[in-house]
C-alpha cells in the first residue's frame, strides 16, 4: 500500500535529485528517506530512481509517476484545507425558508450580507408559510427558517430577528389620509380587507386581536392570504387594510400608508432552527444573522412561544 509520506519523500528526491538535500528539506536523515523510496518502489513494482554514489536521476517510470504523485499530494492538501474550512463554518450549503412578506426586504438584506461575509456557503431559498417551515425543519428538509409565530416544539430553537410596526394602507382617495396617525376606532364601519384566517393566520390573529381589544368591528369586504393581493385591493379602493411596515417596499402607486396608533401593533419574525445536529455552516450563518439583528436594535420578544397543541 502506498502512503502519502512515501509520495512526499519521492517528490522531494525527484525535485532535488540529491538524497542529502531532500533529507534536509524533509527534516529527516538519509537512511529512513532511502527506506521510504524503497518501500514505494516495491509497492509499485517499478524502479523510480537511478542512483549512484554521485548521481540521482529519474527513470521513465519515475518521470511519469512524479506528475501523478504531485497531483495526489495537491488534492490531499486541498481536501485537508476544505475540511478545516467546513469545520470553521466557512464552506457549506443551507436550505433557508422564509415567508412571503419577509422576502420584501429583510431576507434580501440577509442574503446580501451572507454573500459578503460567508461567500462560500450556498443558500437555497424556499418561500413557505410558517407552519410549512416548521414541518420542514422537523423533517430535516429545511436547515433554517424565518417564521412569524414561534412554537414550543423540541428540538426547535428561536431568535427574534425583526419586530416591525403594523401600519395602515389607504387608497389615496380615502378621507382618512388627512390624519397623520390612524386609531383603531377609525376603522369602525369602514370597508376592511382582512387576512385569511387560515392561510394568513398570523396576521389575522394579530389584527383581529387588536380590534377585539378596542371593541371595534370593521366591515370585512374581503379575506386574502397574501399582502400584495391585499394592497392591490386597497389600490382599487375596495377597502382599507392593516399590513406590516415592510409592505411599503412594494411601492404600490395610489396607496398611502399611515402609522397605526396602538402599542401592540407590531409583527415579529423569528429565526428557527433545530438544536440537534447543528452544522458549522448553520452556526456561522446564525451568528451572522444574530449580530445583524442586534445591530438593528431588535428588542427581546415580549411573548413566549405558544405550546404545540396535541393531535
Tell me: do 152 and 272 sit in the same domain.
Answer: yes
Read off the pLDDT of residues 273-289 as tens digits, 9 standing for 90 and up. 999 978 999 999 999 99
Sign of CA dihedral 37, 42, 48, 53: positive
Tell me: do 176 and 254 sit in the same domain.
Answer: yes
Tell me: do 154 and 277 sit in the same domain.
Answer: yes
- Quote the percentage of the chain above a pLDDT of 70: 94
Tell me: do 58 and 198 sit in the same domain.
Answer: no
Tell me: do 77 and 169 sit in the same domain.
Answer: no
Tell me: do 175 and 260 sit in the same domain.
Answer: yes
Residue 275 belongs to domain spanning: 92-159+268-292+299-307
Tell me: do 185 and 61 sit in the same domain.
Answer: no
Tell me: do 188 and 208 sit in the same domain.
Answer: yes
How many domains does the chain fold into? 3
User: Where is pLDDT greater, at 302 or 134?
Assistant: 134
Tell me: do 124 and 54 sit in the same domain.
Answer: no
The CATH number of residue 65's host domain is 1.10.10.10
Average pLDDT over residues 223-246: 95
Tell me: do 151 and 283 sit in the same domain.
Answer: yes
Q: Is the pLDDT of residue 151 over 90?
A: no
Tell me: do 33 and 106 sit in the same domain.
Answer: no
pLDDT band of residue 1 (cuts 50, 70, 90) is: confident
pLDDT band of residue 310 (cuts 50, 70, 90) is: very low
pTM summary value: 0.69
- In whole angstroms, what is the distance from residue 127 CA to residue 144 CA? 12
Read off the pLDDT of residues 27-70 as tens digits, 9 standing for 90 and up. 999 999 999 999 999 999 999 999 887 789 999 999 999 999 99
> According to the model, what pLDDT value does residue 86 have?
66
Return all residues near 32 (Cβ < 8 A) that are at least 6 apart: none
- In whole angstroms, what is the distance from residue 138 CA to residue 142 CA? 8
Identify the CA nearest to 278 among candidates 89, 81, 119, 107: 89
> According to the model, what pLDDT value does residue 301 have?
43
Asked if residues 273 and 144 have their Cβ atoms less than 8 Å apart, the reply is yes
Tell me: do 215 and 287 sit in the same domain.
Answer: no
Identify whether 43 is preceded by a cis peptide bond (ω within 30 of 0).
Answer: no
Cβ neighbours around 102 below 10 Å, total? 25
The CATH number of residue 135's host domain is 3.40.190.10
Amino acid at each position: 500500500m502506498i502512503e502519502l509520506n512515501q509520495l512526499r519523500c519521492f517528490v522531494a528526491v525527484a525535485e532535488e535529485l540529491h538524497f542529502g538535500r531532500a533529507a534536509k528539506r524533509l527534516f529527516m536523515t538519509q537512511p529512513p528517506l532511502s527506506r521510504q523510496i524503497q518501500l514505494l518502489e516495491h509497492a509499485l513494482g517499478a524502479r523510480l530512481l537511478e542512483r549512484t554514489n554521485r548521481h540521482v536521476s529519474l527513470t521513465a517510470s519515475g518521470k511519469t509517476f512524479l506528475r501523478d504523485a504531485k497531483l495526489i499530494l495537491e488534492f490531499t492538501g486541498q481536501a485537508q484545507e476544505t475540511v478545516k474550512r467546513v469545520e470553521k463554518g466557512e464552506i457549506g450549503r443551507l436550505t433557508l425558508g422564509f415567508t412571503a412578506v419577509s422576502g420584501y426586504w429583510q431576507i434580501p438584506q440577509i442574503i446580501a450580507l451572507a454573500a459578503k461575509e460567508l461567500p462560500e456557503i450556498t443558500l437555497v431559498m424556499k418561500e413557505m408559510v410558517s407552519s410549512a417551515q416548521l414541518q420542514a425543519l422537523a423533517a430535516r428538509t429545511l436547515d433554517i427558517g424565518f417564521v412569524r409565530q414561534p412554537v414550543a416544539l423540541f428540538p426547535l430553537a428561536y431568535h427574534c430577528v425583526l419586530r416591525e410596526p403594523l401600519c395602515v394602507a389607504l387608497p389615496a382617495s380615502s378621507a382618512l389620509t388627512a390624519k397623520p396617525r390612524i386609531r383603531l376606532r377609525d376603522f369602525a364601519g369602514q370597508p376592511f380587507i382582512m387576512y385569511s384566517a387560515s392561510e394568513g393566520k398570523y396576521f389575522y390573529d394579530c389584527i383581529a386581536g387588536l380590534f377585539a381589544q378596542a371593541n371595534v368591528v370593521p366591515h370585512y369586504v374581503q379575506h386574502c392570504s397574501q399582502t400584495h393581493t391585499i394592497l392591490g385591493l386597497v389600490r382599487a379602493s375596495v377597502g382599507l387594510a392593516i399590513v406590516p411596515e415592510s409592505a411599503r417596499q412594494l411601492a404600490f402607486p395610489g396607496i398611502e400608508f399611515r402609522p397605526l396608533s396602538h402599542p401592540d401593533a407590531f409583527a415579529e419574525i423569528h429565526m428557527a432552527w433545530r438544536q440537534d445536529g447543528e452544522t458549522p455552516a448553520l452556526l456561522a450563518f446564525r451568528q451572522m444573522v444574530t449580530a445583524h439583528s442586534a445591530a438593528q436594535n431588535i428588542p427581546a420578544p415580549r411573548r413566549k412561544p405558544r405550546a404545540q397543541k396535541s393531535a
